[in-house]
Amino acid sequence: MSTLEIRGLKVSVDTENGPVEILKGVDLTIKSGETHAIMGPNGSGKSTLAYSIAGHPKYQITGGTVTLDGVDLLDMTVDERARAGLFLAMQYPVEVPGVSVSNFLRTAATALRGEAPKLRTWVGEVKSAMAALSMDPSFAERNVNEGFSGGEKKRHEIMQLELLKPKIAILDETDSGLDVDALRIVSEGVVRAKADNDLGVLLITHYTRILRYIKPDFVHVFADGRIVEEGGPELAEKLEANGYAEYVSK
């Protein structure tokens, strides 16, 4: 049983005109097995929340705490946070030229498990993770994210989620750029990871369509750098009908 606890989180980014506050005090608690959807208009700070928790150097933490099972994450380097059990599925996964998917996955698994996975079982593990997401086996020999279509990038992110078995996963607009079939395949991967590993999920999205596949336990509306309303799945339906207008105009 794990708990990610965010308390009073304030985050700024440096701009030409000095630091600008993006997150203005975020409180959120995510436990194993729970799915929290964060929904909000563009520019409300949803992605900033995701990248700040993962430790991207662009974001300055100016206040608040983030802990995983009571341990301070903000004090850790990016790789330490991942080894503590955090995973970020990125909206725009980065190309790493010359590094094959198979080499990358094995290096990551070695880092996270503390020892190199046994080659024999590992090959099978990767194969079945790829098959589960309807990915061609030749995928493993391609360079990380290089020349991948939008859908391939997202499948690759979720394949890592299944292989690397984190405690808490943040999915940053994993649904963007996916057609209906890819959305279903990717969502099923998330649901499997939840069932297999009792994963806690923070699902960041703009649209409600992914919530048909990944049922949220809690929905949080995000606007202007903070959570402005919280509720159950019914809140997503309300957003579907009314949009974000009432929150933006506040």
Partner 1 sequence: MSTLTTNYLTPTGREEAWRFTPLKRLGGLHDGTFKLATRNTLALASAAAAGVTFERIGRELVSAESKTDDVIVGRIHEAATEVTVLKIAANAELAEPISLHRLAGGLTDAELSRVQLHIGANAKATVIIENSGDHLLAEDIEIICEPGSNLTLVSLQEWDSKTIHAGRQHAIVDRDATFKSIIVTVGGDVVRLLPTVEFRGQGASVELLGVYFATAGQFFEHRMFVDHLVPNAKSRVNYKGALAGQDAHTVWIGDVFIRAAAEGTDTYELNRNLLLSDGARADSVPNLEIETGEIVGAGHASTTGRFDDEQLFYLMSRGIAVEDARRLVVRGFFNEIVSEIGNSDIQDRLMTRIDRELEKAGAQ
How far is 195 from 192, CA to CA, in rounded Å? 5
Which residues of the chain form contacts with partner 1 (CB under 8 A)?
54-57, 77-79, 81-83, 87-88, 90, 93-99, 103-104, 107-108, 111-112, 143-144, 160, 164
- Phi, psi for residue 242 in degrees, rounded to 5: -105, -15
CB 91 → partner 1: shortest distance, Å? 12
Q: Which is nearer to partner 1, 39 or 170 (CB)?
A: 170
- Phi, psi for residue 65 in degrees, rounded to 5: -135, 155
CA end-to-end distance (rounded Å), the chain: 37
CB 243 → partner 1: shortest distance, Å? 32
Q: Which is nearer to partner 1, 2 or 160 (CB)?
A: 160
Q: Which is nearer to partner 1, 82 or 130 (CB)?
A: 82
Q: With beta carbons less than 8 A apart as the criterion, state whether 23 and 6 touch.
A: no
In 3-state terms the chain splits into helix, strand, coil percentages (rounded to 5) of 40, 30, 30
Report the DSSP pairing between strands 218-223 and 226-231: antiparallel
The conformation of residue 208, written as its DSSP 8-state character, comes to: S
How far is 197 from 194, CA to CA, in rounded Å? 6
Q: Which is nearer to partner 1, 80 or 230 (CB)?
A: 80
The angle subtended at Cα 4 by Cα 158 and Cα 229, nearest 5°, is 90
What is the tally of helices (H) and strands (E) in the chain?
A: 8, 12
CB 159 → partner 1: shortest distance, Å? 12
CB 248 → partner 1: shortest distance, Å? 30
The conformation of residue 210, written as its DSSP 8-state character, comes to: G
CB 101 → partner 1: shortest distance, Å? 12
Q: Which is nearer to partner 1, 141 or 230 (CB)?
A: 141
CB 45 → partner 1: shortest distance, Å? 19
Q: Which is nearer to partner 1, 38 or 164 (CB)?
A: 164
CB 84 → partner 1: shortest distance, Å? 9
Q: Which is nearer to partner 1, 79 or 230 (CB)?
A: 79
Beta-carbon-side half-sphere exposure of residue 142 (alpha carbons within 13 Å): 15
- List, edge to edge, every strand of the sheet that includes 59-68: 18-31, 3-15, 59-68, 71-72
